Each structure stands twice: as structure tokens, then as C-alpha cells.
Amino acid sequence: MSEPLLQVNAVTKTFGGLHAVFQVSFQMNSGEIIGLIGPNGAGKTTLFNVISGFYAPNKGQIHFKGQDISGKPPYKLAVLGIGRTFQVVKPFAGLTVLENVIIASFAKHPKRRQAEQHAWKILETTGLADRANAQASSLTLAGRKRLEVSKALALEPTLLLLDEVVAGLNPTEADRTIELILSLRNMGITILIVEHIMRVIMNISDRVVVLNFGQKIAEGIPRDVAMDSGVIQAYLGEAPL
Amino acid sequence: MELLPQAMIDGFLIGGIYITIAIGFSLAYGVMHIIDFAVGEWIMLGAFLGYYLNLWTALDPFFLLPAIFLVFALIGYLVQPLVYRVISGKKGNPVLMGLVFTFGLALMFRGLALTSFGFYSHSIPSTISQNSYFLNMSGVFITIPYVRLAGLLYALAITLVLHFVLKKTNFGRAVRALAQHREASGLMGINAKRISSYVYGIYVGLSAMTGVIIGCIFTINAQMGGDYTVLAFFIVVLAGMGYLAGVPWAAFLLGLVQSFFLIYLNPSYTLMAVFVILFTILLISPKGLFGRGV
Amino acid sequence: MSRKYLLLILAFGILLAVPSVIQDTFFLRIITEAILWIGLAISWDVLAGYTGYLNFGHGAFFGVGAYTTALLMNLCGCPFFVALPVAGVVAGIVALIAGIPTLRLKGAYFAIATWALARAVQQVALVMDITGGPDGMRLPTYLHPGFFYYLMLGVVAGIFALYWFLLEKAPFGLKVKAIREDDQSAMSLGLNPTKIKLQAFILSAIPAGILGAIYAYWITYIDPASVLGDLVTDQAVVMAVFGGLGTLIGPAIGAIIIFSFKTYFWAYLSNYQVLYLIILGGVIAAGVVFLPNGIWGTISGYLQTRRTLKQEPVVQEKTDKGAHHV
């Protein structure tokens, strides 16, 4: 095995004295899908924001493709190959679906024409091609989540961070999105996914990292983690696994 | 060197006035999240009302303050729903539309004032205008005009009252809740619309009263608004946007800068100096001197 | 789409022919100034409408351009066509310096900081000896109304074409709009918001500087009150907001309407010039409340809704068609 794609090394992020993320370490190998789970407020989104460059870690380092990326701004990481979605979707509401994806395509295709061709390809992959010329604000929630993935995908990322892209969808839509995620893995994209719906995480993840109160309390293959007493305790009172 | 204590005292006295300008401005920003471009125009209009009331009634301007506060608080209370309508609109970028709206108000007020009051400068005479307190500190003479001292006392009184209202009353708690968590406070049963109207009324009333004090100390004219808007903004940025506790320090600092330029350098450069300081602060610490702004 | 640009080309053609038809220098002068205002209004809108940052000190760039030209021509005897580009560059540099600390922050900081900038620049011109203080400066006279008409028309048409290409055709336009819509999402997609906003700011300042240069040489006399006064910014803002932000045609329409009104007003009611301020303020305040998308935004929104209704008579999209114009 060569060196890991992403290495998170004792990362701590505090807000006004509160540890949102405390000394979390884990690593991701190329082609893996890792599920990041934990109760509400466990620090999952904060960790996402640290990895994608929206927050600089107070302590610890993050290495991506062997390069120290801690504290680099998001727009540099995007070009380096880290794509992300937002839990609260952020479409460019006043623009069309196609324009949304073209903007993301500029990272690898600076020319307008190439970017547009690339955007069409992405929309076909994600199944939004028939809505390409609609205003982004006219999409349904499922459509917006799909657009969110399309934009991140248009960066041609090596690492994709997905923040609750399934939650809130009806079962049919959810299944389509899960299919999409698995097909992305087949394209060679490494995926870190936060999701509340355990069925999803347990089915598609190769490994699972569990956070509670900002600390990593377990890591392993889904079956083992589900049996872990600490994890069960953390989830007591929440939905059973 | 013998001018130094005088410069510092002057700066301190002027700074007091600026507190009242900036505190209302900051309060309105905290609750409504808009910058009111018309702040200087409220000051100017208040000053002119004070000037004419003094002319007609011959009452000392300091006694007119409560009446001016009431008149302008009412005006602010009535104008606020319009502002609220603009900033809570669904279309486009409401915050920026709010800025454009108050910018339009400022233009209108300035035009109105120029039409009705002309271009001339006036001052508002108070019975204490002519007298000063002389201090002899081992050979160093310091002059403290009574009006300026009264202005500082006025500013301190306003600050204390506002502090008490914000910390101790239900209304104050609601205002602070609104400033911190807009959505959550709505859920807790705080009527954002009504509170905003009160706050805007208070802010407009305070600005107008301060205009009268400025008229007693300096001069007033229909075009004075712009300068005070810049000064109000300067203090609020220096203090950190929405961080009320920083306002007095920033105000005193501005007062000092101004009095030093007045005494040691050319007063024409004051605005430039203010501007350079402003940009330096924004460059080094965008959240104000104390890093506590939003 | 193409019909709209055909109309623009037609308008340009008519404007080209104006001096040969209208011999009256007074009217030529008025049309020249109207074209100047179109240029100022659209250059203001490049930042305001496309990035959502309101520049309340646009007049400073105009004034800086005018003073740069006056200084170069008077002190070094530079020919006008050397001073013209330098005026643009100097305005761009001022924008760069002012933009770096303020464009990282929320729009409200930027709005008042630019306003303070304009006052500070005016103050500089008032106290310096080299600029003549409050007395202003005189430029070499070149009385040739036709020359200025064509120069103004050519420059503003060039500015319009450049903006149209950059904002509606080139990748830059989409990037700028992305930042206006959601800067966090834009950042996660590889766009550096501060850099792009700074580019837009400079792109908006340079033409203002160039227009200031032409104005100075044309009018031959400038002082802090005229080229650095609030009125330059005030008018550009009202024109663009009233016409419709976020488009190039909207501010041009706004400029024509407001300028015609002003000319009429000042010609027939010259004793009440300050009333003009009240009307200007009233127009913009009322416009924000009742026509938040401006004239052009409202018209094109209405046309678009009708077109959609014709295509799909039953299903009407719930989206707000006008939203992206603001």
C-alpha cells in the first residue's frame, strides 16, 4: 500500500474555548468510502469544514496527497482535488442548473466552451441533464442535493466530501443517490460521507469513523462499529442502529 | 508641550459626543442589520429643530432635549416599517437594498434641509455657552468650556441609561436576544417587528438630540450630515460592528485624533487621517480594535 | 436575445449620425453628457449589480481621472491621449488599494468605506496646492464639440462592448455571479471571492477614471466640488438602481431617463436646483420599495413571465424571475 490519500493527524478545532473537534486522527486510502457518523453536534460538519479549508485547525495537520494542506483556503483545495457539498444546500439560485455546473468546471477547464461540454457530461452522470436550462431555484430538494453533488463532481476531485446528501429524500430518490455514490467510487473517487441514515452508511462504507463530543470514539468496518459498546452508548436515546 | 493636556481634555470632551452618535447607530445595526446612511442627516435635522425651537421659545437648548427626542423618536418609529419592508423583502439582496433606501433618505433630507434652511451655518446659543472653567495645573492652563462639559455629562448619562435598559429591563433583554439570534428570538415569542421599531425610534431620537448638543458646541448647516455619518461609521468599525462595549473607547480615540489635528496639525487633514486609520484597522483587524465585532 | 443587440447596434448607428443632423452645439453637448452618464452608470453597476457590493464613492474614480489628466497636461505638458490611459490606470490603482482591506468584509463596510474614500479624496484635492485647492484647475482649451462627442461615444461604446463580453460571454461573468449568489459555495468550487471582487472593482473604476479624463478636457475646468462632489456618485447610483441592477441595459436606460429629467429640471427650474436632490433621493427610496428590480428588470421579468405562460399555459414556475437582476 502506498501512502494514504488523506491523513488527518490529531486535528483540534476550538470555538471560544469549546472543542468542536478534539485530536481526531484517521486516514483514507484511494478508492475508499468512509462514513463519518456521530450524534448531533458531534463535530462532523466542523471536521468537514476543517478538511475542506473553511476553518483552519487550531492544532494538528492534514495531509492530502502527501502535501500539508492545513490552513489552506478552500479555493486552493478545490483546485488540488477536494470537492465538497454543503449540508444546507447552496445552489447559485439565480443561475441555471447548467451555469451552476459550468462555474465548477472552470477549475479544470478554464475555457468557456470546454467547461460547458464538461458540465453536460457531469449532468448526464448525475441525471440532471433534462433540467439543465431550468433555474437552480426551481429544483426540488432532491434536485438541489443532486446539483450540489454535480457541482462538487465538476471539479474532477480525487476526494469528495458529501454532507448529508441522502437525508430528507424519499426512498426512491435515496436509492438513486446511493447508486450514484457507488458509481462515483467505481470512477475512482475517494469519498468521505456524513449521513444520519444508518442504513446508508452501513451499506456503502468500507470503514466508519465515529465522533462523539468532538472526539473519535471508534473506527472500523461497519459491522464491528455497530457492535462497539462505546458507540451504542453514544447513540443511546438517539435512533437505534 | 503645554498644549498636550488641553488637547487631551478636548479630545475627551469631543469623544463623549461621539459616543451618543455611535451607540444608537450600533444598536440599530445590531437589531436590524442595516447600516443607516442617514445617521448624519438625523443629527442635522435634530440640530435644526433645536435651533428653531430655541429661536421661537428662547428656552435653553438643553431643556429642549426631551422634546426633540420625543419628536424624532416618533418619526423614527413611523419610518421604520418602511425600512423593515425593504430589508425583509424576498427579492434580490435585501441588505443592500436597505442601504440604497437609507442612502435615498439621506439625499432627500439633505435636499429638504438645503431648500428650507439654506447654505448658512448657525450655532445654537445656550446660557452656558460663554462660560468656561479654568484649570491651573502647576502653571499649565486648561480651558474647559461649560457646554462641552455639559455635552460630556449628557453623553455619560445617555450611556448609563442605555446600559441599564439593555441589561436590566425586559425590553433590553429582548433587544439583546434579537441582536444575537434573529430566528431563535422569533420562536421565543419576541416580536421582532415591534422591537425593531422601538430601537429605530430610540436611535433616531438619540441622534437628533446629539445634533442639538453639536449645535451648541460647534456650528450646524444643512450639509453637515455626511461628515457625521463618516465619523459614526468610523467609531462603529473601530469598536467592532455591533460590539457596544467597544464604542466609548473608539469614540474617545476619535476625539483625541481630532483634537490633536486641530491643535498640532492642520484640521483640514482630519478626515484623511481618520480615513487612513480606518483602512489600517480594517487591514489589520477587520473585527475592530478588540476583535469582537461581527 | 439577438434582437436586443440588433437594437443596440441600431441605436449606436443613430448616435453616430447625430452630429451631422443636429448642428446645434447645445444639444450636442447635452447628448455628449448623456452618453457620459450612461458610461458612469454601467461602470457602477459592474460592481453593484454583478457582485452585490455597493460603491458609494464611485465619483472618486471619476475625479481622480479628471485631476490626473489636468495635472499631467498642465505640469508635464503631456498630450491628452497620453493622459487618458494614465487616468484610467491611476483610478484602477486607487481601487486596488481601497479594495484590498474592504472587499474581504461584508458589503456594508465596503459601502461606507468607499463613501469615506470619496470624501478623503475630495479633501486631498481641497488642501493641496498642486491641485489648486478649492479654486480647481484649468486645462488647455480644445473647443471642438464634434471631437468630444465622438470620443465619448466611442469610449462608452467600447466600455459597453468590453463589459458585455466579460460579463455575459467570458467565464469571468459567471464567476462574478457565483460569488454574488453564494460566496461559500463559490469558494468550495475553486473561486477566490476577494480576488474576483477586486477584479470587478478595478474593472468598474478604470472606465470611471477614463470618463473623468474626457470630462476634464472637454469642460476645461475642474474643481473639487464639481468632479469630486457627492453628486457624481449620487446620480450614478440612482440611474443604475432605477434602471435595473445586474444588467448592462438597465443602467443605460436609467441614465437616459434621469439625465433627461435633470436637464429639463435645471433648464426650466434653475432657481430650485436643490429640489433636484429631494427628487433624486425620493426616486431612489421609492424605487427600492416599489420597483426593486428597476425599470428594465421589471419589464424583462414581465416579458419572461408572459413567454413562459405562453409556452406552458397551465404550469407556472414558482421561481422569482426577477431575482437575478438585483
In a domain? residue B123? yes
Contact residues on chain A for C189, CB-CB shorter than 8 A: 75, 78, 103-104, 107, 151-152, 154-155
Is residue C54 within 8 angstroms of chain B, CB to CB?
yes
C81 or C269: which leads in pLDDT:
C81
Report residue A17's pLDDT band, with 50, 70 and 90 as the boundaries: confident
In a domain? residue A56? yes
Residue C318 has pLDDT above 50, yes or no: no
Nearest chain C CA: its distance from B275 CA (Å) = 7
Residue C315 has pLDDT above 50, yes or no: no
Contact residues on chain C for A95, CB-CB shorter than 8 A: 174, 177-178, 181, 324
Residue A45 has pLDDT above 70, yes or no: yes
Size of interface A-C (CB pairs under 8 A): 89
What is the percent of chain A with per-residue pLDDT over 70, rounded to a whole number?
97
| Residue-wise pLDDT tens digits, B70-103 | 999 999 999 988 888 888 776 566 777 888 899 8
Tell me which residues of chain B, numbers 82 to 101, contact chain C at a CB-CB cutoff of 8 Å. 82, 85-86, 89-93, 95-97, 99-101
| Residue-wise pLDDT tens digits, C103-120 | 887 777 788 888 888 988
For residue B269, give the nearest of C102, C127, C230 by CB distance: C127
C112/B35 touch (CB, cutoff 8 Å), yes or no = yes
C275/B111 touch (CB, cutoff 8 Å), yes or no = yes
| C175, C177, C185: best to mutate for the A interface, most A CBs within 10 A | C185
Measured CA to CA, the distance from residue B117 to residue A208 in angstroms comes to 74
Chains with 3 or more CB pairs under 8 A to chain A: C
| A50, A101, A114, A137: best to mutate for the C interface, most C CBs within 10 A | A137
In a domain? residue B235? no
Q: Which residues of A touch C (CB under 8 A)?
A: 52, 54, 73-75, 78-79, 83-84, 86, 90-95, 99, 102-104, 106-107, 110-112, 115, 135, 137-138, 151-152, 154-155
In a domain? residue B72? yes
User: Exposure string (b/e) for C156-189, b if CB count within 10 Å is 16 or more?
Assistant: bbebbeebbebbeeebbbbbbbbbbbbbebbbbb
C322/B105 touch (CB, cutoff 8 Å), yes or no = no
In a domain? residue B134? yes
Q: Where are the alpha helices (DSSP H) in chain C?
A: 2-21, 25-51, 58-75, 80-102, 107-127, 145-163, 171-181, 183-188, 193-219, 224-227, 230-243, 249-268, 273-290, 294-311
B103/C237 touch (CB, cutoff 8 Å), yes or no = yes
B111/C127 touch (CB, cutoff 8 Å), yes or no = no
Under DSSP, is residue A63 helix (H, G, I), strand (E, B) or coil? strand
A111/C171 touch (CB, cutoff 8 Å), yes or no = yes
Nearest chain C CA: its distance from A117 CA (Å) = 14
C192/A75 touch (CB, cutoff 8 Å), yes or no = yes
| Residue-wise pLDDT tens digits, B204-226 | 999 999 999 999 888 899 888 98
Report residue C46's pLDDT band, with 50, 70 and 90 as the boundaries: very high
Unique residue bearing C-alpha cell 470512477: A187
Residue A26 has pLDDT above 90, yes or no: yes
Domain count for chain B, please give it. 1
| Residue-wise pLDDT tens digits, C16-42 | 888 878 778 888 999 999 999 999 999
Instruction: Please tell me which residue of chain A has the smallest CA distance to C176.
Output: A103
Contact residues on chain C for B26, CB-CB shorter than 8 A: none
Nearest chain C CA: its distance from A141 CA (Å) = 14
Least confident of B276-290, C148-162, C284-298: B276-290
Residue C135 has pLDDT above 80, yes or no: yes
Report residue B127's pLDDT band, with 50, 70 and 90 as the boundaries: confident
Sheet with strand A18-28: strands edge to edge: A18-28, A6-15, A59-64, A67-68
In a domain? residue B289? no
Is residue C254 within 8 angstroms of chain B, CB to CB?
no
Least confident of A85-99, A134-148, B18-32: B18-32
Q: Is A66 within 8 Å of A38 (Cβ atoms)?
A: no
User: pLDDT at position C324, please?
Assistant: 43
Domain count for chain A, please give it. 1
Unique residue bearing C-alpha cell 428653531: B52
Q: Which residues contact C92 (CB under 8 A, 6 or more apart)?
A: C202, C205, C206, C209
| B85, B96, B274: best to mutate for the C interface, most C CBs within 10 A | B96
Is residue C47 within 8 angstroms of chain B, CB to CB?
no
User: pLDDT at position B248, please?
Assistant: 87
In a domain? residue B273? no
Measured CA to CA, the distance from residue C189 to residue C209 in angstroms comes to 33
Q: Is B34 within 8 Å of B99 (Cβ atoms)?
A: yes
Backbone phi, psi, residue B120, to 5°? -75, 155
Residue B145: beta bridge partners? B132
For residue C274, give the nearest of B115, B241, B275 by CB distance: B115
Mean pLDDT of chain A: 89
Q: What is the CATH number of the domain that holds A78?
A: 3.40.50.300
Residue B187 has pLDDT above 60, yes or no: no
Report residue B1's pLDDT band, with 50, 70 and 90 as the boundaries: low
ipTM: 0.89
B250 or C317: which leads in pLDDT:
B250
Q: What mean pLDDT is predicted for residues A11-22?
A: 87
In a domain? residue B232? no
Nearest chain C CA: its distance from B132 CA (Å) = 32
Q: Which residues contact B189 (CB under 8 A, 6 or more apart)?
A: none
Tell me which residues of chain C, numbers 193 to 222, contact chain B at a CB-CB cutoff of 8 Å. none
Nearest chain C CA: its distance from B34 CA (Å) = 8
Mean pLDDT of chain B: 84
Measured CA to CA, the distance from residue A163 to residue B61 in angstroms comes to 62
Contact residues on chain C for A104, CB-CB shorter than 8 A: 189-190
User: pLDDT at position B84, please?
Assistant: 84
The region, left, alpha or beta by phi > 0 then psi within -120 to 50, assigned to residue C244 is left
Is residue C113 within 8 angstroms of chain B, CB to CB?
yes
Domain that holds residue B148: 4-224
Q: Which of B159-173, B177-191, C298-312 has the highest mean pLDDT?
A: B159-173
Nearest chain B CA: its distance from C276 CA (Å) = 7
**Residue C97 buriedness (CB in 10 A; 0-12 / 13-18 / 19+):** exposed
User: pLDDT at position C322, please?
Assistant: 40
Residue C323 has pLDDT above 70, yes or no: no
User: pLDDT at position B96, please?
Assistant: 78
Report residue A241's pLDDT band, with 50, 70 and 90 as the boundaries: very low
User: pLDDT at position C316, please?
Assistant: 40
Residue C160 has pLDDT above 90, yes or no: yes
Q: What mean pLDDT is predicted for residues B147-167?
A: 87
Unique residue bearing C-alpha cell 471631437: C147
What is the percent of chain B with per-residue pLDDT over 70, rounded to a whole number?
93
Q: What is the pTM of this model?
A: 0.87
In a domain? residue A240? no
In a domain? residue A241? no
User: pLDDT at position C265, please?
Assistant: 82
Instruction: Please tell me which residue of chain C has the smallest CA distance to B236.
Output: C109
Residue C270 has pLDDT above 70, yes or no: no
Residue B148 has pLDDT above 90, yes or no: no
Least confident of A38-42, A182-186, B9-13, B182-186: B182-186
Mean pLDDT of chain C: 87
For residue C171, give the nearest of A86, A112, A151 by CB distance: A112
